Structure 1
Amino acid sequence: MRLALLTDLHANREALAACLAHAAQQKADQYAFMGDFVGYGADPAWVVQTVMDYVARGAIAVQGNHDYSVTRPARPQMHAEAREVIEWTRGQLAPAQLDFLAELPLTRQLGNMLFVHASAYDPIKWEYVTGVEQAERSLRATASKLVFSGHVHAPALFRRADDGRVGKHQPSPNSRLVLQPQHQYLAIPGAVGQPRDANNAACYALYDDATRELCYFRVPYDHGAAARRVIGAGLPIVFAMRLVEGI
């Protein structure tokens, strides 16, 4: 199985289309979407419908905090500009699309792999896994050998060795890593729709369960067009600038 791993799509049609086309070129035969299909971007209906179509064909999908928020009262922790986009997004989605987001699970299991938007330790708390401490907490919460998650908008890989020690690896663009069966890993592919690591190219990853090879990809796309859509929709300009600057 060649599994494409996509997270934090954030209503960015151009970025998602580019990543899906790239994954098809890589001969991906399964897809996992790790949440945050809406928020920030200008094409929530197209993005959600695309994910729904993939799920109908057998893809995996879990709920992100923006997906959760768009189907419920806004959380006080969410900053004002993000709440503005969430409220706008509700009016852009069809009832079936809102139902799809509301009914998504927080986690999914496939063999020895666990899929979650944030931390496996307490998924509904939406903890950011930004360092070794958070990664260890997430990994210790599951017996799965591989945890795939998102939420932090930058690619990363954590390894919990068979002796319990946890370390972090910063994958470089288009890097290929072989995961050892005796260790436990937490892989964050980076954001499809809003990268925040000073590189505006979209991020996703591909895992081959036969070779145990994990590949991180950067996919250039028309971020200018995506930014213009944000501005044209009347959404906060900061979210257009993030697409251009990659921060």
Structure 2
Amino acid sequence: MKFAILSDLHANRQAVEAVWAHAQAQGCEHTVLLGDFVDYGADPAWVMDFVMARHAEGASVVKGNHDDAIRHEGSHHMGGHVQASLAWTRTQLTPAHVAFVEALPLTIVKDDCLFAHANVHDPAHWGYLHGRLEATRSLFASHQPFVFCGHMHEPCLYHLSSTGKSGEFHPVDGTPIQLSPMRRWLTIPGSVGQPRDGNPAACYAVFDVSKAELTFHRVPYDHEAAARRVLEAGLPASLAQRLIDGS
């Protein structure tokens, strides 16, 4: 079975549509959505409808910190541009959208896989996996050989040997990676809706469970149209520029 692993959609309809079409062409049979469906982008209601439709079809869906901030604004320390886009986002969502997000879990286990938005060792506090040390903490905190997290907006893959030796590397687009059973693995697929590695193309990953084979993908989309939508919505111009620059 192939899993399509999508994270950090961030209300970017154009990116989500492009990635979803690409994932279907890859023959993916299960969808994993790693949170942060709203904020930053101009189409939060459309993206939430997409997420809810995938959930109804059986997708594994976890909550992100921006999703959580829709209801718990006082518990999140975010910058001024985020507060502005969050305030606008709240006006776009229906009570059904908010109730759905509120009920989402922080982590999901499916077979040999563990899914979370930020990390596994302390998922409720949204700490970033900035490097090997934090990734190793999450690998030690899990019992599954395959861990998938979002939150970082840049694709990366970490691994941990049976002797406790860890490593990391940055993947090449479209190149399958065999995940050895002698190691445990933590995948960050990157962001669908707001990549931050200098490449504006959307990020996601495909995991072939039967082969233990992981492939990271970059999907070009009309990021200029998405940026125009951000400006037309009256959101901060810096959010539009990020889509153009991939920064």
- For normalisation by structure 2, the TM-score amounts to 0.98
Give CA deviations for 1:93-151 in whole Å, capped at 9, x if unaligned.
11101101111100000011000001100001111112110001111111111110110
Runs of 4+ in 1 over 3 A off after TM superposition: none
Q: Name the % identity.
A: 47
Count of equivalent residues? 247
* Residues 1:33 and 2:43 are matched in the alignment: no
Matched to 1:232, the amino acid is E
Name the residue aligned to 2:187. 187
Q: Distance in 1 between matches of 2:20 and 2:28?
A: 9
Q: Distance in 2 between matches of 1:35 and 1:195?
A: 15
Name the residue aligned to 1:202. 202
CA RMSD, aligned part only? 0.8
Which 5+ residue runs of structure 1 have no aligned equivalent?
Answer: none
Give CA deviations for 1:182-202 in whole Å, capped at 9, x if unaligned.
211000000000000000000
Name the residue aligned to 1:117. 117
Q: Distance in 2 between matches of 1:164 and 1:202?
A: 33
Name the residue aligned to 1:86. 86
Q: Distance in 2 between matches of 1:172 and 1:30?
A: 23
* Residues 1:157 and 2:157 are matched in the alignment: yes
Name the residue aligned to 1:223. 223
Residues 134-153 of structure 1: pairs in structure 2 closer than 5 A: 134-153=134-153
Matched to 1:26, the amino acid is Q
Matched to 1:14, the amino acid is Q
Judge conservation of contact 2:39–2:89 (CA < 8 Å) in 1. yes
Matched to 2:4, the amino acid is A
Deviation for aligned residue 1:75? 3.5
Q: Secondary structure at the match of 1:82?
A: helix
Q: Distance in 2 between matches of 1:17 and 1:219?
A: 10
Q: Distance in 2 between matches of 1:103 and 1:113?
A: 21
Give CA deviations for 1:52-106 in whole Å, capped at 9, x if unaligned.
0000000010000000001222445211110111111111011101101111100
Residues 20-99 of structure 1: pairs in structure 2 closer than 5 A: 20-75=20-75, 77-99=77-99
Judge conservation of contact 2:118–2:129 (CA < 8 Å) in 1. yes
Q: Secondary structure at the match of 1:52?
A: helix
Q: Distance in 2 between matches of 1:127 and 1:73?
A: 17
Name the residue aligned to 2:6. 6
Judge conservation of contact 1:74–1:83 (CA < 8 Å) in 2. no
Judge conservation of contact 2:69–2:76 (CA < 8 Å) in 1. no
Q: Secondary structure at the match of 2:147?
A: strand
